[in-house]
Structure 1
């Protein structure tokens, strides 16, 4: 029997850290929304990250030049996975608690499986369909519900659901990009596209914004948000995604809603109800059904 391939522990660590960081800044961004309007916040995030990642833009000598297909994929990766995801997420968070957002975002692995079927023609097994059904049921339980931080609107739930599919598209497109472009360069280029896309809206809100109003702690949190959201997490995610299949990488999305809910519970003073706890369990069960392999190999 041929020897089993080595377990890519480095890739697993990158994927787990990336999704954990995303979940943490999803919760913390609720604090930033109290100090900055949505489009200005997104513009500042991309702008700060562009300065931090300036050395990553240049192509490495051993890296091939970008072809037309790679350029299109980079634009779609940024437009769907960066720009639209950020807008849907931030507007959705204004209308939902972090705990509810965590339950809805738990549907990302099932959404990855669904998009793989629609866009890549992959066959979806019955257990994956059951996982999608669990995630949808979990989302239905929290849509329009209440949390310790206030009421969750149907619009907020729909915006977060749109963010789920934006992030799923980010995974599917990113897997294709990592075959030709380095993780660092992907991160820097999609951030530049995001900056270009949000600049008109960001400038519009900047003209009427009082930049002396946010506290020093708000600016410090903004710096962490920019570095984590646009620089560290994409680099970690693309580094891991380059070494494992996309479906297997989807398993690690479970850390995103867990971290989001933990931030809401521990730092934002939110509470979780029995219905939300049940919804959380259904969403996590959906993750396991949709992404667990049929069997474990030695």
Structure 2
């Protein structure tokens, strides 16, 4: 893994690792510090889109078996992203290490994460799942410090703590009555595994952005996802009645494939190019926030005072972690 530093008081070129010095988009604050607002927007948009189509994925699971759904999703996205696989004229050939990292990125982020999450949810209550998954930003920070050697500022750590607390409070406020129900040690362990897989996805993705452009990373890890899930997908396809699937469900699947495997991954990798992994992990708070907004605006759901405080705390964590630092006096 490559080294990355985040010194808020250094000059823009010195404060960024090599992968971030080349044409990094953004603005400067009134002290002259570089602020990668476009990268922040990409990260927020990626996780917001994912959170907004949570309901869509639940609908598709009712139509397609889980592994067949993943197989079709990766397959459709692979066709869409065929042009993205081509190596650019200025790119070096893939090294063995980069190929291995691409495999790990897909194995942890696409394959193992889905298995741990789906089977963990079967043996856990919603509140336990929500609280455990709230630990993703903190796990990302720990892994980025261990493997990327990122220096994490105290204010960023405070922002991460606020984000984790806000997401955990959301889970507790929604499912407080079932906090201890229907949860086994095996289920909780699987969810911890899912949390670590997602954190690994962020950290490995940060390392990959130093060597490859976001579009090619997206296409290559999707291709690995297709390879990994193909045996299980074909196994479930053998007994599946494809003729019973409505046209609208095929349309939803196509939209899901393009959104989940193409747009959101590209946005995430685009943002990771110019933001430290630890800060990027804080943007995971937009998953529950966007899900709540969809429910509030389109499904007529209501939000109580505790939930409002929880979402405000989570968003406050993002603001604290990413707001430009004051110039030293």
Tell me whether the two structures share a fold, i.e. TM-score over 0.5: yes
Q: Which runs of 5+ in 1 are unaligned?
A: none
TM-score normalized with structure 2 length:
0.73
1:173 Cα deviation after fit: 0.6
Distance in 2 (CA, whole Å) between partners of 1:24 and 1:154 is 27
Q: How does 1:230-241 map to 2 (within 5 A)?
A: 230-241=261-272
Q: Which moved more, 1:179-188 or 1:116-125?
A: 116-125
1:106–1:284: 8 Å Cα contact kept in structure 2?
Answer: no
RMSD value, Cα = 3.9
- Matched position secondary structure for 1:209: coil
1:113 Cα deviation after fit: 0.8
Judged with a 3 Å threshold, the aligned counterparts in structure 2 of structure 1 residues 48 and 141 are, in CA distance, closer, same or farther, namely: closer
How many equivalent pairs are there? 295
1:147 Cα deviation after fit: 8.1
Aligned to 2:257: 226
Question: Higher relative CO (CA 8 A, sep ≥ 6), structure 1 or 2?
Answer: 1
Aligned to 1:183: 214
Q: Which runs of 5+ in 2 are unaligned?
A: 1-9, 12-30
| 1:48 equivalenced with 2:76 (yes/no) | yes
1:12 Cα deviation after fit: 2.1
1:87 to 101, 104, 115: 115
Distance in 2 (CA, whole Å) between partners of 1:282 and 1:10 is 23
Distance in 1 (CA, whole Å) between partners of 2:128 and 2:307 is 7
Q: Which moved more, 1:121-130 or 1:101-110?
A: 121-130
Aligned to 2:60: 32
1:285 Cα deviation after fit: 6.7
Tell which structure's C-alpha radius of gyration is larger. 2
Q: Which moved more, 1:232-241 or 1:97-106?
A: 97-106
2:138 to 110, 121, 126: 110
Judged with a 3 Å threshold, the aligned counterparts in structure 2 of structure 1 residues 227 and 215 are, in CA distance, closer, same or farther, namely: same
Judged with a 3 Å threshold, the aligned counterparts in structure 2 of structure 1 residues 62 and 228 are, in CA distance, closer, same or farther, namely: same
Deviations 1:88-137 (A, max 9, x none): 34445667899986665443222211222343455677773895598379
Distance in 1 (CA, whole Å) between partners of 2:55 and 2:326 is 34
1:201 Cα deviation after fit: 0.6
Q: How does 1:1-298 map to 2 (within 5 A)?
A: 4-91=32-119, 105-120=133-148, 128=157, 131=160, 135=164, 139=168, 142=171, 146=175, 153-154=182-183, 159-264=190-295, 291=321, 295-296=325-326
Judged with a 3 Å threshold, the aligned counterparts in structure 2 of structure 1 residues 236 and 123 are, in CA distance, closer, same or farther, namely: closer
1:34 Cα deviation after fit: 1.4
1:102–1:256: 8 Å Cα contact kept in structure 2?
Answer: no
Distance in 2 (CA, whole Å) between partners of 1:229 and 1:35 is 17
TM-score normalized with structure 1 length:
0.79
